[in-house]
Amino acid sequence: MKTLMLGNEAVARGLYEGGCSFVSSYPGTPSTEITECAAKYEELYAEWAPNEKVALEAAFGACLSGKRSFCAMKHVGLNVAADPLFTISYTGVHAGLVIGVADDAGMHSSQNEQDSRHYAQASKIPMLEPSDSAEALAFAKLAYELSEEFDTAVLLKMCTRVSHSQSVVETGERVLPAQKKYEKNPGKYIMMPANAKKRHPEVEARTKALTAWAETTKINRIEAGSDQSCGIITSSTCYQYVKEAFGDTYPVLKLGMIWPMPEQKIREFAAAVKRLVVVEELDGFIETHCRRLGLSVSGKDLFSNIGELSQNLVKEKLGGNVQAGAALDEVIPARPPVMCAGCPHRSIFYVLKKMNLTVLGDIGCYTLGAVQPLGAIDTTICMGASVSGLHGFVKAGDKESAGRTVAVIGDSTFMHSGVTGLINIAYNESNSTVIILDNSITGMTGHQQNPTTGYNLKGDPCAKIDLESLCHAVGIKRVRVVDPYDMEICQAVIAEELAAKEPSVIISRRPCALLKYVKHPGPICSDAEKCKGCKACMKIGCPAISMVDGKAKIDATLCVGCGVCEQLCKFDALGRAE
Amino acid sequence: METKNIMIVGVGGQGTLLASKLLGRLLLGKGFDVKVSEVHGMSQRGGSVVTYVRWGDRVCSPIIDKGQADCILSFELLEAARYTEYVKPGGRIIVNSQQINPMPVIAGMAAYPENLVEKMAALDIQVDALDALSLAEEAGSSKAVNLVLMGRLAKHFDFTDEEWMGAIEQSVPSKFLELNKKAFELGRSA
């Protein structure tokens, strides 16, 4: 049946059809929907793991038990999972193991734009790279065949434009592979030096065998062109830009497997064209390979290694004409993302800013606490870095730093890798104050469950991590819980815990305002008579409040009635309708 | 046929994804090659969002570049103005005249430009502005802005009533079907 599918949905379909039985992932844009869609197939077990390292290790365990398995992550998640990745390269697999990784060139929703293709080369694990949804489905299935034929995990590399574009796919039936049972094999699976030394040559031999496969596979294909003056090597979404820009004018070598790359096929392609060009996003990965083969090639001399490419860019850089439409001669104000009206994070950041504290931030919706007018965050690095960074900042900083520095981290991020930092705080005794912003969901990636919510990926009730007990158990004696909507109490508790001479955790607890089960009291009203236009309510950066003719006005379609602005108004101009 | 391009732009949370889903279904049903490119993640939190819808005999790129859009369907006035460069000469902008202040305007660091409809119309663009929010409220819910705008789009594209209704039925919950159909009709006839 022909249907429109997101690239991520198509990967999930490929997993289903390819006989995958086990999926473990951690959400991360743009990879999240692969696992969400996989969970909709009853035949597939799917779960959210606390982080990507756990997910990959779980998927490896599942493949060892004899089931085809999968895990998905965003590019930075692969950094977290890199430890098992490099050694799984040595062990190989039992049943097939596929690892989905989605890059985010252009940083639509990420803290960097690293190029994951380097991981394939560095870990010596083959990587397939689909260019649309149909290929995403086909390559996911193919990845299992490769995985079992060559005894290797296979990386399936997505990117924002392939993950989040819908295109036409044709679906097929699920085919289960022959049943496998676990087989004890210490030399293959116990990677202590003596065994690993024997496995490494196997890895090198495997790469050679895969290189030979790359020469003949149909997914590395040459498409003829009418004009041999230029030949283009490309892959992924860039292939689509090239075809959009030039149609069938120039010959194209379209690589479906990005590592290892063919040598002979590239040489033959290069020999048949006058000028060789590589069109790829981010780093010159294919280009470097061509140079290693001694070929004269253009690539990053034309195309930036920063941000995304597009059809116009490709056309223009290769000598074509492009015509933009007419721009308005007008300054159009930017529209950055903001915390939603009623977001429980907003008031905490207002308090932190008011107290003039240094705030080490983390990854999640609450990163938006860095945006004006709140501007309350000092750092954002990676998952968990707020807690561990705070420890170092307080330990190494001057005497006052403990009393004026906090870490803020969400519930899901705390489970991902914040708890290890907290263990370090307790173990090495830094006088740190950590604020866990517990909104009872993984917010930024679109409401995924996590170990603190009491529900699993399928929405079934499950064990719920009790944050207070967890903090106590790792050695934190001072654990406080506050309602972020009550700013007076929040400020008092933060001040007390900063003054305390031992580490503390403040749990700021209120569910995300967008959760369906959250009942809101209804919008706040503004009284234009009483409003003096002091703009105190404007300091929280609520999208529902604006100044109209010098008076605060509440947009009743946005306001959920959290009442935070009401607490800021000294003139009683904001309040609930009687 | 030459590939057709529609950009759907708006503010994160306005329901642009439902509009593109509906359009994608309709176009696939007509047998076209279709690509719909969306934005997920951070910008869905009240940021500027763009969805590209492309159809034809063979569609390659999932995105629409500057100078290529036959039509922009904008859920908000400022967002239409942000993307005029993407419209083909002589192309169209259908715009909800609703204004939603972005944070720099709310925070007093920037001004919301004035007379944007007139300024856009002065370019080589056909501008069709309507108050989709009021029409959605008339239909029964401010959340039906997306269906009002789809109705307006229907005026300018040659798809049958049956095709539209089929796609709407597939895309909205049955509980809200009548409301959404009404919103669609109001958008088309306004």
Number of separate domains in chain A: 4
pLDDT at A113: 97
Asked if omega into B104 is within 30° of 0 (cis), the reply is no
Q: Which of residues 73-92 of B touch A (CB under 8 A)?
A: 78-79, 81-82, 84-89, 91
pLDDT at A49: 98
Percent of chain A with pLDDT over 70: 100
B12 inside 8 A of chain A by CB = yes
A176 and A65 assigned to the same domain: yes
Of A453, A478, A509, which residue constitutes the final position of a domain?
A: A509
**pLDDT band with cut points at 50, 70 and 90 for residue A293:** very high
pLDDT at B40: 74
pLDDT at B43: 66
pLDDT at A578: 59
A96 and A24 assigned to the same domain: yes
pLDDT at A478: 98
A22 and A43 assigned to the same domain: yes
A13 and A33 assigned to the same domain: yes
A183 and A252 assigned to the same domain: no
Average pLDDT, chain A: 96
The answer to whether the beta carbons of residues A355 and A491 sit under 8 Å apart is yes
Residues of A in contact with B39 (CB under 8 A): 108, 164
Residue-range domains of chain B with CATH = 4-189 (3.40.920.10)
Instruction: Kindly state whether residue A518 falls inside one of the protein's structural domains.
Output: no
Task: For residue A206, give Cα distances in angstroms to A92, A150, A154, A201, A211.
Answer: 10, 7, 12, 9, 8
CATH number at residue A348: 3.40.50.970
What is the token pair recorded at A506?
């403040």
Of A166, A189, A214, which residue constitutes the final position of a domain?
A: A214
pLDDT at A557: 84
A401 and A312 assigned to the same domain: no
A52-86 pLDDT, tens per residue? Answer: 999 999 999 999 999 999 999 999 999 999 999 99
A199 and A267 assigned to the same domain: no
A184 and A86 assigned to the same domain: yes
B128 inside 8 A of chain A by CB = no
Q: Which of residues 23-62 of A touch B (CB under 8 A)?
A: 29-30, 32-33
A225 and A210 assigned to the same domain: no
What is the token pair recorded at A179?
């049943």
Instruction: Kindly state whether residue A450 falls inside one of the protein's structural domains.
Output: yes
Cβ distance of B38 and A243 shorter than 8 Å: no
A38 and A187 assigned to the same domain: yes
Of A459, A481, A509, which residue constitutes the final position of a domain?
A: A509
Instruction: Kindly state whether residue A514 falls inside one of the protein's structural domains.
Output: no
Rounded to a whole number, what is the distance in Å from the CA of B71 to chain A's nearest CA? 12
What is the token pair recorded at B118?
């007139």
Instruction: Kindly state whether residue A487 falls inside one of the protein's structural domains.
Output: yes
A140-185 pLDDT, tens per residue? Answer: 999 999 999 999 999 999 999 999 999 999 999 999 999 899 999 9
B96-133 pLDDT, tens per residue? Answer: 999 999 989 888 889 999 999 999 999 999 999 999 99
In this predicted structure, the answer to whether residue A343 has a pLDDT above a threshold of 80 is yes
- The DSSP 8-state label assigned to residue A418 in this structure reads I
A358 and A496 assigned to the same domain: yes
A151 and A190 assigned to the same domain: yes
In this predicted structure, the answer to whether residue A50 has a pLDDT above a threshold of 90 is yes
Residue of A94, A100, A17 whose CA lies nearest to A63: A94
The mean pLDDT of A281-300, rounded to a whole number, is 98
A250-265 pLDDT, tens per residue? Answer: 999 999 999 999 999 9
pLDDT at B158: 87
Instruction: Kindly state whether residue A517 falls inside one of the protein's structural domains.
Output: no
- Report DSSP letters for A266-295, one per residue: HHHHHHHSSSEEEE-SSS-HHHHHHHHTT-
The mean pLDDT of A478-495, rounded to a whole number, is 98
* Ramachandran assignment for A551, one of left (phi > 0), alpha (psi -120 to 50 degrees), beta (any other): beta
The mean pLDDT of A535-558, rounded to a whole number, is 92
Task: For residue A392, give Cα distances in angstroms to A376, A421, A429, A435.
Answer: 20, 10, 11, 16
Computed from CA positions of residues A84, A89, A94, A97, in that sequence, does the dihedral angle turn out positive or negative? positive
Which residue among A243, A244, A337 places its CB closest to the CB of B47? A337
B43 inside 8 A of chain A by CB = yes
The answer to whether the beta carbons of residues B147 and B135 sit under 8 Å apart is no
Instruction: Kindly state whether residue A330 falls inside one of the protein's structural domains.
Output: no
Q: Which domain holds residue A254?
A: 220-317
- The DSSP 8-state label assigned to residue A27 in this structure reads -
A209-229 pLDDT, tens per residue? Answer: 999 999 999 999 999 999 999
**B39 to chain A: closest CA residue:** A164
Euclidean distance between CA atoms B101 and B116, whole angstroms? 14
**B11 to chain A: closest CA residue:** A335
Instruction: Kindly state whether residue A324 falls inside one of the protein's structural domains.
Output: no
A2-44 pLDDT, tens per residue? Answer: 899 999 999 999 999 999 999 999 999 999 999 999 999 999 9
Cβ distance of A368 and B45 shorter than 8 Å: yes
Cβ distance of A338 and B123 shorter than 8 Å: no
Residues of B in contact with A240 (CB under 8 A): 60-62
Q: What is the ipTM of this complex?
A: 0.95
Angle in degrees, CA A522, A528, A529, rounded to 5: 125
Task: Sort A364 into a burial class: Cβ within 10 Å, 0-12 / 13-18 / 19+.
Answer: buried
B112 inside 8 A of chain A by CB = yes
Instruction: Kindly state whether residue A337 falls inside one of the protein's structural domains.
Output: no
